[in-house]
Structure 1
Amino acid sequence: MDTMQVRSSERLDAVKLHAFLESHFSELPQGQLEISQFSAGHSNLTYCLKIADFEVVLRRPPLGPVAKKAHDMQREFTILSALHPFLPAVPKPYVYIEDRDIIGSDFFLMERKKGIVLDTYFPKGIKPTEELARQLSEKMVDSLVALHAIPYEDTPLKDMVKPDGFMERQVHGWIERYEKAKTAEYAEVKALTDWLKKHIPLNKEATIIHYDYKLNNAMFSEDYSDMIGLFDWEMTTVGDPLADVGVAMSYWMQADDPKMLLHALGDPPVTVLPGFYSRQQFMERYAEKSGRDISDIQYYCTFAYFKLAVICQQIYYRYAKGQTQDDRFAQMDKMVAALIQQASASI
């Protein structure tokens, strides 16, 4: 996973952090603390802290005002602690720190994993075959099935969630978030949100859901044989597993998707390449491996496109209001428009 020089507006206090590491890690090697930033991600800020051969990952909330109940570092730390014993791809969490005097916010530290993260291209020198693309698709499906099979009643998550009425709360909650963050009017939104409210499916089952499950949140071994990492657990909860499938499909682009959706933020993900599953193939394998009825899956996919549009809109709102100077967000409104169109096309 690529790191870069820390953005000037998002720097951390190296002196205070080094002192903190010395007090919490008894075998910390001698040397200078090097801080770099992971280039991926549009929400929480993620850094690599390195001293000689010692490395840990630091997660903190974004700068500026954030949505209520969003970016809860203690909650994400608790989720990692609960799930790591069941799913080794989950990074091992080390410590949560509430003290805001160290870096200006609370934060937590977790294991640094090393492997291959795929987004819009394969690493240089790797020519992906259709067989490799198929195998990666299968691993993405099967890992999602494995996550949904974890008995949440045996984890601390049982005390953190309210699975009853999950989709009802989700639909109304994300519509409310959209209204608070909108910066432009889209003609399709009224009909889309009315349709979503009218057709909310009944609760059938509750499982642990990642709720941000996508290829560039997964890490594979150097030979691509195993998924060794799964990241960004901030949206994880207990809810309808088909909502998780819908979210995964909203990220899983295919070559025949509208150009506006494929290229709104630049190059499309590698899932558009020959050999990768189509969304239909992904969902069919999920149904086969999980044994779940997915006859209502189109609703969940439509809602997921709208939900992703709202997330992008919240990011763009922060940029438009000057709450972040990250230039990656300048074109996010184009992605909002593309996602709203994609959601509306299926109702």
Structure 2
Amino acid sequence: MARQLPSMMRKAGLSEMDQGPELPVAAVLLRSPAATVAFDRQALARYLAGRGQDFDASARPLQFSGGYGNLNYLIRVGEEWAVLRRPPLGEIPKGGNDMGREFRALSVLAPVWPLAPRPMAFCDDPAVLGAPFLISEFRAGLPLHGQQPLGTAMTPAQARDLSALQVDILTQLHGFDIAAIGAGVLGRAEGFAARTLRGWTARLDGARTASPPEAELLCRKLAESLPGEGRVSVIHNDFKLDNIVVDPATLVPQAVLDWDMATLGSPFFDLATLLTYWAAPDDPPQLRAINLTHSEAPGALTRRELVEAYMRACGRDRGRDEAELRFFIGLAFAKLGVIYLQLYDRFQADPAGYARNEKFGAAAPGAFALGLDALDGKLI
């Protein structure tokens, strides 16, 4: 990933004179200059200078192209490549896009887990860049986006390895002793299921787009089937394949990204979130069109096989824990449906600026419908 071909740079609208030091990422992973959301680089330079850190404000901003939420930029702090993250423009849902939460999570995890990038700075003063922002170390590697995350068709063995990789990472994360690593600062250990359901129900009620009937039914059924207090772990709270960066040659994981929702809660919710993005052949077509992972590639594990692999790795009992797991899969699909409604709200508010969000309006009902299937035991 280190050396860049001139043709790739031209495709992304970049020139060698723009860059200074050689880019550590493929240029196609960066937005063109015209599509980049600029920020006040002089203000960032002043802020970092006050912390004894050097930032060159003269270089053109380099914004990563992926994602629908936070804005991510490749920057240099001193002699080191780093990533600046800030919330998207416009209104932010309560509790969403929390850079302070991400800073706390990385501060706890980076000293004990190689897959957590080291945090370098956090600013909660919106006067600097217009919103709180985080700077963390850059981890070189291949982000696992899309149906062909390796760039070409993968072998069945590679598809199975990438499936199992997610289970391995979750097992590591959920195995940390909360008290031993000082993770108590990440949230409350009790009441996670009820608190999370209330939060996403409130976001559903606050969406401008009318919620489909499946949404209200799913939220009601979830409220009627709240599980008791179960095992509590450090959880990523938005775990999916495209938040993983691997070595492109060996597929060894290099980092897990996007910790702005990290907290203490049921480890089943991380597994459930992974399953919501793991499309199956009989999922609603509008939803499958968005869930672009390698889940349907030959050799990839099915949802059921992912669950069984996780249960074995964590020493959980599938039969005993089935009801709790079904609840959290239903809750994860409710969360996904609400996120899609919120993304569609942005399209409705600004059709030209958020044209790529239009597809989420048609996909949201399918997410809520799969949540109902999960509660009824039809999914796994």
| TM-score, normalised via structure 2 length | 0.83
**Equivalences for 1:181-196 in 2 at 5 Å?**
181-196=207-222
In the alignment, does 2:249 pair up with 1:201? no
**Equivalences for 1:91-106 in 2 at 5 Å?**
91-106=117-132
Bigger RCO (CA 8 Å, 6+ sep): 1
1:319 maps to what in 2? Answer: 347
User: Quick one: which amino acid aligns to residue 38 of structure 2?
Assistant: R
**Equivalences for 1:18-167 in 2 at 5 Å?**
18-22=45-49, 24=51, 32-50=58-76, 54-122=80-148, 126-167=152-193
2:54·2:78 contact (CA, 8 Å) conserved in 1?
no
Of 272, 276, 281, 1:255 maps to 281
- 1:72 positional shift: 2.2
1:342 maps to what in 2? Answer: 370
How many residue pairs were aligned? 344
1:319·1:330 contact (CA, 8 Å) conserved in 2?
yes
Determine the C-alpha separation between the residues in 2 that align with 1:169 and 1:123: 34
- 1:37 positional shift: 1.2
Unpaired segments of 5 or more residues in structure 1? none
In the alignment, does 2:301 pair up with 1:277? yes
2:39 maps to what in 1? Answer: 12
Determine the C-alpha separation between the residues in 2 that align with 1:126 and 1:33: 33
Give the match's secondary structure for 2:127. coil
Determine the C-alpha separation between the residues in 1 that align with 2:260 and 2:57: 32
User: Quick one: which amino acid aligns to residue 78 of structure 1?
Assistant: R
Determine the C-alpha separation between the residues in 1 that align with 2:233 and 2:327: 18
Determine the C-alpha separation between the residues in 1 that align with 2:265 and 2:149: 35
1:207·1:241 contact (CA, 8 Å) conserved in 2?
yes
Give the match's secondary structure for 2:245. strand
Q: CA 1:328 to 1:87, structure 2 compared with 1: closer, same or farther past 3 Å?
A: farther
Determine the C-alpha separation between the residues in 2 that align with 1:168 and 1:4: 40
Greater Cα shift, 199-208 or 330-339: 330-339
- 1:79 positional shift: 0.7
- 1:51 positional shift: 7.8
**Equivalences for 1:167-186 in 2 at 5 Å?**
167-186=193-212
Q: CA 1:279 to 1:7, structure 2 compared with 1: closer, same or farther past 3 Å?
A: farther
- 1:146 positional shift: 0.5
1:63·1:323 contact (CA, 8 Å) conserved in 2?
no
- 1:315 positional shift: 2.3
Q: CA 1:143 to 1:324, structure 2 compared with 1: closer, same or farther past 3 Å?
A: farther
**CA displacement 1:214-257 (0-9 Å, x = unmatched):** 11000111223311111111111101111221111111123343
In the alignment, does 2:327 pair up with 1:303? no
Determine the C-alpha separation between the residues in 1 that align with 2:57 and 2:198: 51
User: Quick one: which amino acid aligns to residue 65 of structure 1?
Assistant: E
2:45·2:57 contact (CA, 8 Å) conserved in 1?
no
User: Quick one: which amino acid aligns to residue 13 of structure 1?
Assistant: D
2:101·2:262 contact (CA, 8 Å) conserved in 1?
no
- 1:17 positional shift: 2.7
2:359 maps to what in 1? Answer: 331
Determine the C-alpha separation between the residues in 1 that align with 2:145 and 2:293: 5
Q: CA 1:190 to 1:19, structure 2 compared with 1: closer, same or farther past 3 Å?
A: closer
Q: CA 1:101 to 1:189, structure 2 compared with 1: closer, same or farther past 3 Å?
A: closer
1:10·1:63 contact (CA, 8 Å) conserved in 2?
no
Determine the C-alpha separation between the residues in 2 that align with 1:179 and 1:145: 34
Q: CA 1:132 to 1:171, structure 2 compared with 1: closer, same or farther past 3 Å?
A: same
Greater Cα shift, 208-217 or 171-180: 171-180
User: Quick one: which amino acid aligns to residue 37 of structure 2?
Assistant: E
1:291 maps to what in 2? Answer: 315
Determine the C-alpha separation between the residues in 1 that align with 2:288 and 2:154: 20
Determine the C-alpha separation between the residues in 2 that align with 1:31 and 1:60: 17
1:98·1:106 contact (CA, 8 Å) conserved in 2?
yes
Identity %: 28
1:309·1:340 contact (CA, 8 Å) conserved in 2?
yes
1:168·1:200 contact (CA, 8 Å) conserved in 2?
yes
Give the match's secondary structure for 2:210. coil
- 1:87 positional shift: 1.7
| TM-score, normalised via structure 1 length | 0.90
Give the match's secondary structure for 1:238. strand
Give the match's secondary structure for 1:272. coil
Determine the C-alpha separation between the residues in 1 that align with 2:38 and 2:143: 24
**CA displacement 1:96-120 (0-9 Å, x = unmatched):** 1233333222211111111111222
In the alignment, does 2:293 pair up with 1:246? no
2:30 maps to what in 1? Answer: 3
User: Quick one: which amino acid aligns to residue 47 of structure 1?
Assistant: Y
Determine the C-alpha separation between the residues in 1 that align with 2:208 and 2:116: 34
Q: CA 1:99 to 1:323, structure 2 compared with 1: closer, same or farther past 3 Å?
A: farther
Give the match's secondary structure for 1:219. strand
Q: CA 1:308 to 1:6, structure 2 compared with 1: closer, same or farther past 3 Å?
A: farther
Determine the C-alpha separation between the residues in 2 that align with 1:192 and 1:51: 47
Q: CA 1:307 to 1:16, structure 2 compared with 1: closer, same or farther past 3 Å?
A: same
Determine the C-alpha separation between the residues in 2 that align with 1:185 and 1:70: 20
Q: CA 1:208 to 1:122, structure 2 compared with 1: closer, same or farther past 3 Å?
A: same
Determine the C-alpha separation between the residues in 2 that align with 1:125 and 1:343: 31
